[in-house]
Amino acid sequence: DIQNTTVFGVIVAIAFCHMLNDMMQSLLPAIYPNLKANFGLSFGQIGMVTLVFQITASLLQPLVGLYADKRPTPLALPGGTLFTLAGLTVLSMAHAYPVLLIGACLIGMGSSVFHPESSRVARMASGGRHGLAQSMFQVGGNTGQALGPLAAAVVVARWGQFSLAVFALMALLSCAILWNVAVWYKAHGLARLTAASKARADQPPLPAGKAAFGIFILMVLITSKYLYLSSLSSYYTFFLIERFHLSVQADQLHLFAFLAAVAVGTMIGGPIGDRFGRKYVIWFSILGTLPFTLMLPYVSLFWTGPLTVIIGLILASAFPAIVVFAQELAPGKVGMVSGLSFGFSFGVGGLGAAALGVMADHTGIAMVYRICAFLPALGLAAALLPDIERKKG
């Protein structure tokens, strides 16, 4: 049966390209301490770099997804990587703050093409194991985000800003792999899409209002998750420097441990959602981090590392379940919903980074973590999600 076979080769290929894509992106926040020193930037200006990158990605993603739902474009996948290549090249040669913003903008555009289309390919290749496919796809991205700070510590810290041009070569490797994925997409993926839409025609759809409300609740949960993740991915290094006087290298290792935990949590979340129901995973994953986020601003260095690992592990398990839940609320609009989920998470992260940067300038970085500690309480909203999984038995 064309629908029920899981094509692991395709899922692994896009997961690997997701790793390369997000590693190249995560070099940007990883070199913030260097940029702050070289360009004399304030926290507010650093937040603005993140905002430009993430807003470019977030606003375009649902539009790319919506277009691809109506007119599937397999070659968009390899084409999108060229924006990332251009962005890293611009960043490597930037000598002024506005040029940094242009480089960040180009990297964001590469991301906006990659995420909705590759998330749709993961669903095509899943053979019905949607949570597993999303987890594998997303863990590629999380692994890339975790490797970014290590690459920055090993390469950029030693050879400087210009060494970013070396990482641009990874975009060419990604382009070559995604070309082959695009060939599969055209030859087999489109046939799977047609078969899936025929199978859906037999099931009564959820009322439009109920589906829209469900997606709204998922966006509230993404807001809670990504505002907190943004506080850690953008400012955790500064928090460790201010509170515990660690070196930049030691900071990057702590950031790597947190991001590696996020990768593990993402891998676990999808299959557990397939097995026990996505609603339970979403509920536990966001609300379950609350005790640990409340403790984090007050503990010693010894406990800071383990607590951030636990937070990353639990919080990350929600996102594969959220994306699949959203896709099932709006069947036939997989690209748009995937783009909205990824794009909204990027946008919230970008706006959050900018707002938290301004807050850090005025109140100090420690206060940011005391306030953000309450964000996981928004996980209570998961109780309002519609019960769509029971229909499947």
3-state secondary structure the chain: CCCCCCCHHHHHHHHHHHHHHHHHHHHHHHCHHHHHHHHCCCHHHHHHHHHHHHHHHHHHHHHHHHHHHHCCCCCHHHHHHHHHHHHHHHHHHCCCHHHHHHHHHHHHHHHHHHHHHHHHHHHHHCCCCHHHHHHHHHHHHHHHHHHHHHHHHHHHHHHCHHHHHHHHHHHHHHHHHHHHHHHHHHHHHHHHHHHHHHHHCCCCCCCHHHHHHHHHHHHHHHHHHHHHHHHHHHHHHHHHHHHHCCCHHHHHHHHHHHHHHHHHHHHHHHHHHHHHCHHHHHHHHHHCCHHHHHHHHHCCHHHHHHHHHHHHHHHHCHHHHHHHHHHHHCCCCHHHHHHHHHHHHHHHHHHHHHHHHHHHHHHCHHHHHHHHCCHHHHHHHHHHCCCCCHHHC
pLDDT at site 267: 92
Cα 375 to its chain centre, rounded Å, is 18
Cα 301 to its chain centre, rounded Å, is 27
The confidence band for 310, taking pLDDT boundaries of 50, 70 and 90, is very high
As a whole number of angstroms, the distance between CA 287 and CA 387 comes to 19
Do 161 and 153 touch, CB atoms closer than 8 A? no
Over pLDDT 90: what percentage of the chain? 47
pTM of the prediction? 0.82
How many CA atoms within 13 Å lie on the side-chain side of 152?
30
Q: What is the dihedral of CA 315, 319, 321, 326, to 10 degrees?
A: 140
* DSSP code of residue 203: S
As a whole number of angstroms, the distance between CA 5 and CA 191 comes to 13
What amino acid occupies position 389?
A: E
As a whole number of angstroms, the distance between CA 95 and CA 90 comes to 10
pLDDT at site 391: 43
Tell me the average pLDDT across 208-236.
91
Tell me the average pLDDT across 29-57.
84
The confidence band for 202, taking pLDDT boundaries of 50, 70 and 90, is low
Q: Which residues, 6 or more positions from 27, have their beta carbon under 8 angstroms from its beta carbon?
A: 88, 148, 151, 152, 156, 164, 167
pLDDT exceeds cutoff 90 at 323: yes
As a whole number of angstroms, the distance between CA 319 and CA 23 comes to 19
Do 91 and 377 touch, CB atoms closer than 8 A? no
Tell me the average pLDDT across 144-151.
82
pLDDT at site 392: 42
| 380 against 249, higher pLDDT | 380
Query: What pLDDT, in 10s, does the model give residues 5-35?
Result: 889 999 999 999 999 998 988 888 777 877 8
Query: What pLDDT, in 10s, does the model give residues 71-127?
Result: 888 999 999 999 999 999 998 888 889 999 999 999 999 999 999 989 989 998 998
pLDDT exceeds cutoff 90 at 306: yes
pLDDT at site 121: 92
